[in-house]
Structures are given as C-alpha cells and as structure tokens.
Structure 1
C-alpha cells in the first residue's frame, strides 16, 4: 500500500487527471454500457423465443412491434419479401436507455469493441510521451551536473528514472483496463446475443406472423398461378384449333365446289352417249367376229383336203385375228380417249367405223 502511495505521489496531477479521464472513466462507462446492451439484447431474444413458442406477452418490445407494423403495411408478396433485410434494417434503428439517454445498439456495440484497442493506443502514447520528456530532462541533467559529485549525480538521475516509471505505470493501467474490457466482452458477448435475437425474430416472422397476416401459402399461390397459365393455354389451344378447322373447312368447301363443277361439265358433255354408241358398235363387231369364226370353221372343214386353199384361209384367219387384236387395242384406246374430250373420242369412233367397214367388205368378198 505504501508502495502504491509512493508511486502515486510521484505521478503528476495532470497525468492522474488524464489517466482518469482517458482510461479509467471510459473503461467504467464501457463496462456499464456493455452490460446494459447485453441485458437488453438478451431480453429481446427471450421475448422473441416466447412469441415463437406461442406464449402471450403483456407488452411486446418496440422493435418487434415496429417490425410487425412495417410488414403489415407492406404490399409485397411472401415470395418477394426479404425478411432478413427488413429485420436488419429495423435492428439498425433499435435503441436502449442508459441513465436516461437513448443510445443506438449498433453504435454502442461498435464502441465497446473498439475501446480496448483505443485504450492500448492511449497507454502506448503516454508511455512514449513520458519516455521522450524524461530523455530530454535526463540529457539536460547530465550536461549540467558536476561529474565529480557522485551523490548529487545519483539524486539528479533518480528523478528522470522515476518519471519513466510513471510513464510505464500509465501504460500498465491502460493495458489492464483494455484486458478487463476484452474479458468482459467475452462474457457479455453482444454479437452472439444479436445473432440469437435476429434468428429468433426471423423464425417468428416467417413461421408465425406472416402466415397470420397472409394466409395464402406458397402452394396455393403456385396453384393459382398454374390455373391462370392453364386457362391461357386452353384459350390459345382453342383459338388454334378453331383456326385450323376453319382452314380445313374452307379447303373442303373449295374441293366440293371443284368436284361439283367437274360433275356439271361431265353432265353437259356428250361423253356418255358416245361411250354407249361405241359399246354398241363393239358388240356388233363381236357378233360379226363370231359369225366369221363359224364361217371359218365351215370353210376349214370344206377345204381340209385342199392344202393351198387352207393356207390361204389360214392367212386370212391370221389377218382377221390381227384385225380383231387391232380392234381390241382400239377399244382400249377408245376407253383412254373417253377420259379426254370430244375430239379424241370422235377420231377413235371414225377409226372403228373404218375398220368395221373394211372387215365387212372382206367378209362379203369371202
């Protein structure tokens, strides 16, 4: 105790005042602020967990009330809402009371985390200032003192050395206060309390409050969106089918008109009558051919002993057969020509008549 008093007696008054103002008082204030902030955050976190558990509270904290009011007034959909950003923005405006003063939580938290480093800086600054001043004083003492008087030299050197001890003492006080604040920051960890508070509030907002003010779930929203998309797709499909049916019916109507026009053309033409006439002529030719065959058979029986006559008759028969084949070919040509128009049909009929005339003449000649 006497050593402490002796050390304090060596410290100048202005240095004690600066140590108290710049080191000790900020340390005490930071400890109190840290404790109040930690208790405030823990109270908010406990309240949020109680709300999350469904426990009714007599008074809801202002932060949660402001957050609920902001979300209730928002017109955004659940899928478009960034809950974490809204909670962070509300927390950045959160304040607590200390000795009647309203202080921002984020500002005080940052101040309490920076203050230990600031105290170390003040301590080092005091140390280097004390060393600098004492070195200058020591230099003046050495130059002014008589070297032969040893006792006087020791007394004069003792004072600057004690001043250096005072400088290191102030640095030691700053380091001690900084260490104390660092340890208390670990015990009253406001960062952990903040994370716990924000996670509890986010859980409460997402799972309890928002479903209560917006009862439509994401699944129902998806079903509603799908219903709208399906109605639009059905409408487009109906329009497409209607357009396709209209085009198909127009094509069918056009084909029917074309077919009707062709039928009218066929009805107005003389093609059926000419075809019937050609058929009659062909029947006559067949009858004549049958008669010619009978005549040939009789001629063969009559002239079987006359080889020369039989050869001639055979030649005539072959010629007649060739003519019949020609008639058949002409008949096929007539059928093909019937598909064409009146000019081809008339030429075919003339050829048939000419051939029949020749055949009749030959038969008469026989």
Structure 2
C-alpha cells in the first residue's frame, strides 16, 4: 500500500519509468528462468543419457555378449554394490535401490554440485514458475493501472487531463498482459521441449531402466557367482536334510547299543538261570511222580491182599452155618412146643438154663454192640483217613496244576508234567475206588453183624474172633497206610515248600526282568521323543522357509 501511495504520488513521467523497470525486470526473470531450466534439463540429459543408452544396449545383446561386456563406471559401481547387498541380505527391493542410486547422482552446474533429484524437481516445476512470474507481472501492472483511475474520474477534469490519465491507466495494463503472454509462451515452449525430449521424467525413466537391468541383465552376467543368504541356507538345509537320516541312524544305533548291551547280557544271564531252575524243578517233579508210583504200587498190594484173603468165604460159611443153626433151632422149638405139655417139669427145670442162656445172650449182645461201635469208630477213622487222603490228593493236584502253570510260563515242555498230573488223577480215582470198596465192605460187614446179632452165642464167639482178626489186620493195614500217607504227605509238603520257594525266586526274577524291560522301554520312548522333536523342528524350519520364500520351493524339495 505504501508503494502504491508512493507510486500515485509520483509524476506521470516517473511512473512510466517505474512501470518500464518492472516490465524489464519481469521479462528478464522469465528469460533467466527459462534459460536455467533448459540448461538444467540439458545437463541432466547429458548425464543420464549415456547410462540409459548403455542399459538399452545391454538389453539388445545376446547372453554370451552380456557376460563379456565391460560397463561404464556408474553401472559397474551399481552392479558391485547390488551384488554385495545380495550376498548379505535375503531380499532387495530393486526399485528402492535404483531410486537411491539415481537420486544420489551429483551434477555440476555452473561450478555447483547439485543432486539429480533436485534438478529433476526444478525441471518439472519450471513451466509453472514461468506462468507464476508472468501472472506476477500482470497483477502488478493491473494494480498500478487501477490505482490511476481515480485521477480520471474527477468531476472537474479537463479533456487533456482525461487523456493523460487514460494513458497512465493503459500503460501499466499493457505491461501486465505482455509479461503474462511472455510467461505463457515460454512455459508452453518449455513443456513442448520436455515432451519431445522426455526431460520431464528423465530420472524416472533412468530408474526404471536401471531396475530392469538389475533384475534381468545382472543375473545373466554373474550367473552362479553370487549366492544369497537364503539360497545358501536352503543349500545347507538340503544338505543337512540329506545327511539327517544317516546321522539319526548312527546316533540311534549308538544309543541302542549303549543302552541295550549290558541289559541284554543281564537278560541272557537271567534266562540261563531260569533254564537251570526249570530243569531242577522238572527233576523234582520226576521224583514226585516216582514216589506217587511207589504209593500206587503199595495201594495195589493192599487191594490184592484184601482180594486174596478168605475173609469173605469165612463170612459165607458162617452165614450158612447160622442158617443151618436157625433151621435146627426152629425144629427144636417145634419139638419143644409139641412136648411142652409132656415135659413141663423138664422145662421148668430148664428155665434156669434158659435164663442163663438169656443172660449170656445179653452179654454177647452187649459185646456185639460194643464191637459194632468199635467197628463204626474204625469205619469213621478209615473214612476220615480216606477223606484226608482225598484232600491231600486234591492239594497235590492243585500244587501240580500250579507247577504246570509255572512250567508253561517258563516256556518249557509240559507234556511230562501233564502225564504226571493224569497219573495223579488216576491214582486218586483208584484211591476213591478203594475207599468205595472199603465202604462197601464196611456196609456189608454191618449187615452181617446185624444178622449175627440174631444168632446164638457160639456163632457170636466165632464171629467175634473173625472180627477181631479182621480188625487187627485192618488196623495194621490202616497203620501202615497212615504211616505211608504221612511219609508221602511230609515229602509232598517239603517238595511243595521247595517248589514254592523256587516259584518265588522265579517270580522275583520275572519282576526284575519286567523292571529292566520297563527301563529300556522308557529309554526308547525318550529317544523317540527326541527324534520327534528334531523332526518337528525341521518341519517348522521348512514351513517357515516355504512361507517366507515360496519361489525357493524347488530347492527345498530338492
């Protein structure tokens, strides 16, 4: 505002000189800006065009020519830097790398080193700067011309003053439109030049060519000379994966050999001891079988003695004599009845004899009852002995079954043991038959005793003697049988105790063997878990590499 007031206060001639100075300054600034923009674009093109031509020439060459091509300083430096980065990092963004390399170029303009990015920005902004300078001059001239209108609009102004005032108004306006027109023309000219030469996007074009060169030409030039860390890790991983089965097999063999060597030796020792113990048990069972066979022969001898004795015949004769005596007594009774009346006195005289006979009969009956009681007691004792024998036989059978199960658990032949058990069962059956025969004998004996109870004193005397003889013989036989059974029972108990001890030892050894097998099973489980963890870690590494670098799937599978 101060400038406008000062301008309004100037003389018209001085005002025209001022507007001419503004006009010249604006035009000079526009021309200088245009010249600097052209020079900067030309300098940038001179710097980047050789690089672009070199990249385009590499793209037109064959593969063998590309490998032997010598590059200029910039491309060789970029190639070395890119290869060094590739050898140290897994992945590189070629666009960012090329952008940093191209933008870091320094260009010398009028003895000043300026970066290529700044020059490219200035070249891109120069048309708008020219238009801005032209508009600046236009608005300055319009402002000055409009400030002089108040002098023309006075009511008492003369024609000469009005013409002068209009001249003062039009002169700045003509200046304003001339600078604006110059700025537009030069901006359009500069835009056409940029469009024809491609200077506006020269840096981006060079960056794109350099990116394509790094991604296509450089891999052809270097071939297999550069290895990325990912590729080297994949190669080492493939090598490790190829060697892993052999390493695992070696380590597993070593672990198994170290873990099972001593244990297998202990197993062999235990099995050898077990075999010797089983052999000894088999020998003991053989002795037991022999003892049972001897007892069976004794039982057979006793049964033969009973079968060959004349006791049954004597009993038959006594029964027959009793029958004859009964018939005689019946005849005598009849004769006595017929002669009762006649011999009443003789019968009275014989009454005392009959009473004596009754007393003797009562005495003999008491003796017979006592003998029957004694016989029943002996029968009970015999039955108790037979029952104890049966129980002992069952115990022997159960012990035999236990020994047979132990025999079978040891994995040895069970045929001999089964034959022994069958022989024992046959022996028990024969004992039962002998017991049944004894019971039958005692039953018949009771029946005969009941029959003898009705006989006379003489028959009772004969029967008592026979019973006493039989009782003595049976008692002696029973005592011998008791002694034999006691001896065999003692031997069987001792043998069972020894077998039980051996079985306990075998069970202890089996428990030790089971414990050793459990320890080895735990060791195998630990080895298996470690192998599973290693396999899981390898799978995780492979999955991670596959997820991060899907293009390397072929190398991983290889």
TM-score, normalised relative to structure 1: 0.67
CA distance in 2, matches of 1:359, 1:102: 144
Aligned equivalent of 2:169, options 143, 160, 164 = 160
- CA displacement at 1:173 relative to structure 2: 1.9
Matching residue of 1:77: 87
1:79-125 CA-partner distances (Å, limit 9, x unpaired): 63627244333322335566887654322211100112222322333
Does residue 244 of structure 2 align to residue 235 of structure 1?
no
Count how many residue pairs are aligned between Structure 1 and Structure 2.
329
Matching residue of 1:328: 393
Aligned equivalent of 1:106, options 117, 129, 132 = 117
| Aligned CA-pair RMSD | 4.9
Matching residue of 2:214: 202
**Within 5 Å, which residues of 2 pair with 1:111-130?**
111-130=122-141
Q: Which runs of 5+ in 2 are unaligned?
A: 1-15, 320-375, 407-427, 429-474, 483-558
Describe the shift of the 1:87–1:111 C-alpha distance in structure 2 as closer, same or farther (beyond 3 A): same
Matching residue of 1:226: 238
- CA displacement at 1:36 relative to structure 2: 4.5
Describe the shift of the 1:15–1:292 C-alpha distance in structure 2 as closer, same or farther (beyond 3 A): farther
Matching residue of 2:422: none
Describe the shift of the 1:121–1:293 C-alpha distance in structure 2 as closer, same or farther (beyond 3 A): farther
CA distance in 2, matches of 1:111, 1:281: 127
Matching residue of 1:361: 478
Secondary structure in structure 2 of the residue aligned to 1:80: coil
Q: Which runs of 5+ in 1 are unaligned?
A: 1-8, 340-351, 353-357
Does residue 131 of structure 2 align to residue 131 of structure 1?
no
Describe the shift of the 1:164–1:297 C-alpha distance in structure 2 as closer, same or farther (beyond 3 A): farther
Matching residue of 1:170: 179
Matching residue of 2:195: 186
CA distance in 1, matches of 2:99, 2:20: 47
Aligned equivalent of 1:286, options 286, 296, 301 = 296
Secondary structure in structure 2 of the residue aligned to 1:147: coil
- CA displacement at 1:156 relative to structure 2: 0.4
Conservation of the 8 A alpha-carbon contact between 1:134 and 1:164: yes
Describe the shift of the 1:11–1:201 C-alpha distance in structure 2 as closer, same or farther (beyond 3 A): farther
TM-score, normalised relative to structure 2: 0.47
Conservation of the 8 A alpha-carbon contact between 2:131 and 2:184: yes
CA distance in 1, matches of 2:239, 2:476: 87
Describe the shift of the 1:326–1:220 C-alpha distance in structure 2 as closer, same or farther (beyond 3 A): same
Describe the shift of the 1:297–1:136 C-alpha distance in structure 2 as closer, same or farther (beyond 3 A): farther
Describe the shift of the 1:176–1:298 C-alpha distance in structure 2 as closer, same or farther (beyond 3 A): farther
Describe the shift of the 1:83–1:279 C-alpha distance in structure 2 as closer, same or farther (beyond 3 A): same
CA distance in 2, matches of 1:213, 1:77: 10
Which has more radius of gyration? 2
Does residue 34 of structure 2 align to residue 22 of structure 1?
no
- CA displacement at 1:64 relative to structure 2: 0.8
CA distance in 1, matches of 2:217, 2:230: 16
Matching residue of 1:87: 98
Matching residue of 1:149: 158
Q: Which has the higher contact order (CA 8 A, sep 6+)?
A: 1
CA distance in 1, matches of 2:216, 2:109: 28
Conservation of the 8 A alpha-carbon contact between 1:147 and 1:153: no
